[in-house]
Structure 1
Amino acid sequence: MAAVPPVCEFNWSAPAFSLPATDGKTYTFSDVAGENGTLVMFICNHCPYVLSVIDRIVRDGRDLQALGVGVAAICANDADAYPDDSFDNMTKKAREWALPFPYLHDADQSVAHRFDAVCTPDFFGFNAQGGLQYRGRLDASRKDAGPVDLKRDLFDAMRMVAQTGQGPQDQIPSMGCSIKWKDV
């Protein structure tokens, strides 16, 4: 079922985290933070919304890193119920997709809860001071990728954040598969 996250709560502080990555290292928010801002995104290995645009996510991540924006992706889905999202499969996908940024595993889902992540993909764009400035969509794609010349909402917003410290006032929320929460 498709889920839509809430609109951006400007200047909300990025929650701290320390998570293992598919490259064998452990990363904190400070480790992934960039000089001009930070993008933290919640994705997973099996979501059709993510799969249809993973090439654009990789492209925008790489382009943002070139602007001094740190980038990291987190998978928080319940891997027991959704084995495609296991850490081993994350490692395979990180290689297959040639991710140019850390792919982190939130096995206990505590980080996703602190971020109030809703869906995959869910994008959180912070300025250099760690204040939230963007919580919108990648582009106008939905379950299927739209045309390749779509406006790059995420990239344009984060370029603005990198240059000015502020995100756009008008943001269109992302849409994707709901986070697969563990039964508690």
Structure 2
Amino acid sequence: MATESPAGEPGAPAPAFSLPATDGRTLTLAGVRGERGLVVVFMCNHCPYVRGALPHLIRDALELAASGVNVVGISSNDAAAYPDDAFERMVAFAAQWTLPFPYLHDESQQVARAYGAVCTPECFGYDAALKLRYRGRVDASRHAPLPGARRDLFEAMREIASEGVAQGPQYPALGCSIKWKGNAGR
């Protein structure tokens, strides 16, 4: 069953993190931020919604980087219950998709809880000061990329990079729920 994200709290600061990346590094919030903003995407390997949005997310990440906005992916799923989301599978997934952004593992799930993430893919867009300005979807794609879909995340982040805020609509993310350890949920 699909889960929809709640609205974001505009201006909320990005919670700090230090997480292992699929390329062997340990990365922090300060280390991944872009000069003009940052997108934190909660994602995972097995979710069909992630796989459907990923071609557009990759395209948008490459274009946003040229505007000074970085993207980082974080997987917080319980890998014991969902082995496809284990760290070694994340490494293979990042290589298979040639991800142009760091893909981090939140094994403790503390980062997902700090952000209030509920589903995958769920995007948190921050301005240059790391204040929340966008929370929602990549675009209207679901289990497959939707040709010609409005680039919701990209358009919002482009505005945030140039104006500091996004004026357009923000649609909630829709995807698989984060798989919490012990099925504890939130």
TM over 0.5: yes
**Corresponding residue for residue 63 of structure 2:** 63
| Structure 1 residue 48 displacement after superposition | 0.4
Q: Cα offset for 1:57?
A: 1.1
For residues 146 and 100 of structure 1, the distance between their equivalents in structure 2, rounded to whole angstroms, comes to 21
Q: Does 1:88 align with 2:88?
A: yes
| Percent identity over paired residues | 53
**How much does 1:8 deviate?**
2.2
AA at the equivalent of 2:156: A
Amino acid at match of 1:89: R
Q: What's the CA shift for 1:169?
A: 5.6
Shift of 1:146: 1.7
CA contact (8 A) 2:87 2:105 kept: yes
Instruction: Give the distance between the partners of 1:175 and 1:59, measured in 2 at CA.
Output: 20
Matched pairs, number: 183
Counterpart Cα distance in 1 of 2:168 and 2:138? 16
- Which residue is equivalent to 1:47? 47
Within-5 A mapping of 1:107-146: 107-146=107-146
On the 8 A contact 1:123/1:134 being kept in 2, the answer is: yes
Structure 1 contact 44–76 (Cα < 8 Å) conserved: yes
2:101 corresponds to which residue? 101
Contact 1:49 1:144 in 2 (8 A): yes
Alignment of 1:173-184 (within 5 A): 173-183=172-182
Judge conservation of contact 2:156–2:168 (CA < 8 Å) in 1.
Answer: no
Structure 1 portions without partners, runs of 5+: none
2: distance between equivalents of 1:143 and 1:116?
24
1:160 and 2:122 equivalent? no
The alpha-carbon deviation at position 70 of structure 1 amounts to 1.5
CA contact (8 A) 1:73 1:103 kept: yes
Aligned residue for 1:92, secondary structure, equals helix
Q: Give the aligned CA root-mean-square deviation in angstroms.
A: 1.0
Unaligned runs of 5+ in 2: none
Paired residues of 2:44 and 2:50 also in contact (CA < 8 A): yes
Q: Which of structure 1's runs of 4+ aligned residues deviate more than 6 A?
A: none
How many angstroms apart in 1 are the aligned matches of 2:178 and 2:167? Answer: 26
Confirm or deny: 8 A CA contact 2:56 2:145 kept in the other structure.
Answer: no
Tell whether the 8 Å contact from 1:8 to 1:171 is kept in structure 2 after alignment. no
**Paired AA for residue 8 in structure 1:** G
Residue 168 of structure 1 and its aligned partner are, at CA, apart by 2.8
Would you say the 8 A contact 1:73–1:102 is kept in 2?
A: yes
Tell me by how many angstroms 1:145 deviates.
2.7
**2:170 is matched with which residue?**
171
CA contact (8 A) 1:134 1:168 kept: no
- Give CA-to-partner distance per residue, 1:85-142, whole Å, 9 cap, x none: 0000000000010011100000010000000000000000000011000002111112
CA distance in 2 between counterparts of 1:115 and 1:171 reads 17
